[in-house]
Chain A
Amino acid sequence: MQITKIPTEDPIQDQWQLLDQFAYPANIRKYLQQHQIHESTTDLCEFIAGCISQAGAYFQASIAAPLFISPLLLYYGATNLMIGAGSLLTGIIKPIGHHGITLLPPEGADPRIRGFQLRPCHPKNGALTWFCEIFSNGCPITSHGMWSLEEILASVPDLKNDFERCYDDGMPFIIPVELQEMEIDYKGDGESRSLRIFETVALSDVSRFENPVAHIKSVSDFASAYMNIGPPQKSEKFIRLNRRMRAEEIGFYNIYGKKFLELPHLKNQTPVTLNQLIILFLGLFALGHISRYSPHAWYPFVRADSTGERLIVQKFLSIANRYIPNLVLNFILRSRIEFFHPGSESRLQGREIKL
């Protein structure tokens, strides 16, 4: 995917400025024509513009709102943004009749927030199904059973450390990958130098897994993207992943350009991998609905959590606030948009990789 680097001192403001161009029907019309998506109608353009505008307002409101209601505002914002972007990308106004998910309270003795369960439903007119069609390679999510909030939190890349700190028994679903450049000079004349990107996984990042190698190999399409890996030697702190020549790259990059591999969620014996946008959307649905429909659980949690779980929830919301507009923008502009602080430009330039 193409990478677009944008210097900014305020990425949140800048990402919304980029999205806000689609709050104007004239720009929407141009986009649809330029990408030959669909004949633009006034209704369609106004619908998209309205969704994007409302989304911006919800996101902005959520920042100022207390934790009692901020998840719900963010969920509304994300829903509007994804519906608007979905319509922009497909050129249709999809009739949506349901969220496409229902929320179930925790089962068992652990009453913590992480135990809430999500059941995707309404494959015909549920918003989630449509979002998965557009943003997650058409993953038939309703046929894959339940998702726990813990699984969702475990799948957010920049939440990994907080997740492991908060849940001693929690197993992350993402693996951070370091990219390293290796200079190859076959002829030794300096003129035929080339750079290859090598990838490594720090053993400390997979220390929770009994068999880290087996877990890494369980990543979808691992065998077609990378060469086989064996157990590291005792002295090694990393597992090196060698990409196959000519293979499609797998994994994903967070908005800061850091690479991750996703471990599949086993649902009805089927490995399922969801796009980050869907993961964040599911998390927002759960938290929004707990705060809205389970105040008896949410109020004491916000007021007096002693487990540290509130911290991870707050971090999740903060990530969602920053990531969701950026990820949606990536889909719309068909490029990985990386905002970076001008002061860090030189460091980032050295890491730029054309995929």
Chain B
Amino acid sequence: MSIIESTYKLCRDVIRHPVRAELNKSLLNVNFSAYGQAARQLRVQLYGYLIADQERDNFTIKLESVDNETLGLLSGVHAEIVRINTRCCAPIIKEIPKAKISVDPYNKFEYRGSHKETAPKLFQGIDVDRLVEEFHKHPAIGVALKSYREAGEHIEGNHFLSDVLNYETELLSVGPLNQPSWFDEFQKAPAERRVHNLLMFGLLCFRDSLRNFNQLIFQALYLERLTILNDGNMVDLSPTYSNRSGRGVGVVFQTTDLDFLEEILLMDINEIVLVDGAYGTKDKTLGRVESMKKPLMKAQEPCIVKMRLLDENLNAYPSLLKL
């Protein structure tokens, strides 16, 4: 079993779990309000609802209040997910404790609240050990640890965080079909620099896989299946563009037959969808939407999305590990 397969299994378990229905109802209740929208736009899944509530005074629009029961439920389940994440990255943290915050998918925001231990548990009765085991085999761990040992340099915790976030920002800013120009010169960089970068890339890739795992769990709380882009709704599919970070595709598709919720989630960016025909094969590939253009108020007007393709480790930047 791979990370992707374990994640699918976990999503199926989550969908069948009784707490999921409660969560689904709560999310739908708050989703179409200014609060829900603000929370989704933070793009950190359930954590967004907690941060939006905490930071409500800092939003320019007034956010509706949310009841404590809902917050308790969301924060409890979010804490469960964080615990799974922590177990997954244990091999890295064990050797590089200072890198802990850099591999945390939620490291961009700090939540000062706490969750109630009495809140319903989404993962109660669900075996996550298999997933954790698979994450422990993630190739990014090997790259990060090997580079760390080779580098032998002293790096502060904040430095790990800032490097990982900077590289991610750089990758996101050029879009999923391109790469930062300096990647072509990577091999020419001094050995020390290369090793340092590989360490950061390892951490970045691991964090990205965790983030995508979390996103898939989050999507399973909304919808019972992944959105599929295929012959039924794709108007055009670009060639698969490969570069030194990974692979990306552009898709023009029609949203008419999509579920309303699917469309809403797509609009939020970061949704993970199945792309039929990417890589030029018959296989469906997971893609993470990074940009979307959709004309409003026009039926059948096609949307253009660009997405990064994920590998079997849910990693959107697998080529970084081979630089």
Which residues of chain A have a CB within 8 Å of any CB of chain B?
184, 186-189, 192, 194, 196, 198, 227-233, 235-236, 239-247
Contacts and interface: CB of A to CB of B under 8 A. Distances in A.
A187 B256 contact: no
A286 B254 CA distance: 45
Contact of B235 (A232, A239, A245): A245
B276 to A, nearest CB: 10
B238 A233 contact: no
B187 interface: no
Given A241-B300, A243-B235, A245-B231, A228 B257 contact: yes
Contacts of B177: 186-187
A69 B304 CA distance: 58
Classify the secondary structure of B's interface with A.
Answer: loop
Interface string B226-240: 000001111111110
Contact of A240 (B178, B234, B257, B299): B299
A231 B297 CA distance: 11
Contact of A245 (B234, B239, B301): B234
B235 to A, nearest CB: 5
Interface of B: 175, 177-178, 231-239, 241, 249-250, 252, 254, 256-257, 277, 297-302, 304, 306
B232 A240 contact: no
A236 B299 contact: yes
A232 B295 CA distance: 13
Nearest to B297: A233
Contact of B231 (A196, A236, A244): A244
A231 B249 CA distance: 30
21 contacts: A184-B250, A184-B252, A184-B304, A186-B177, A186-B306, A187-B175, A187-B241, A196-B252, A227-B232, A227-B235, A227-B254, A228-B257, A229-B299, A230-B256, A231-B299, A233-B297, A233-B299, A239-B300, A241-B300, A246-B231, A247-B231
Contacts of A189: 178
B235 A229 contact: no
A286 B240 CA distance: 57
Nearest to B241: A187
A196 B235 contact: yes
Contacts, number: 78
Given A186-B241, A227-B300, A233-B298, 15 more contacts: A184-B236, A184-B238, A186-B250, A187-B250, A188-B178, A192-B241, A227-B254, A228-B254, A228-B256, A228-B257, A229-B300, A240-B298, A240-B302, A241-B300, A245-B237
A242 B299 CA distance: 11
Residue among B231, B235, B298 with max Cβ neighbours from chain A (10 Å) = B235
Contacts of B254: 227-228, 242
Contacts of B299: 229-233, 236, 239-240
A242 B250 contact: no
Contacts of A245: 231, 234-237, 277
Nearest to B302: A242
Chain A to chain B: the 10 pairs with minimum beta-carbon distance, closest first: A186-B250, A240-B300, A186-B238, A187-B177, A227-B254, A242-B235, A242-B254, A233-B297, A230-B299, A232-B299
B281 to A, nearest CB: 14
A188 B254 CA distance: 21
Contacts of B232: 227, 244
Nearest to B300: A240
Contacts of A192: 238-239, 241
Contacts of B235: 196, 198, 227, 242-243, 245
B159 to A, nearest CB: 33
A246 B236 CA distance: 10
A227 B229 CA distance: 12
Contacts of B249: 186
Nearest to B301: A240
Given A242-B235, A245-B237, A246-B231, A187 B178 contact: yes
Contacts of B256: 227-230
Contact of A230 (B252, B300, B306): B300
A127 to B, nearest CB: 42
Contacts of B236: 184, 194, 196, 245
A342 B302 CA distance: 36
A211 to B, nearest CB: 14
A195 B190 CA distance: 43
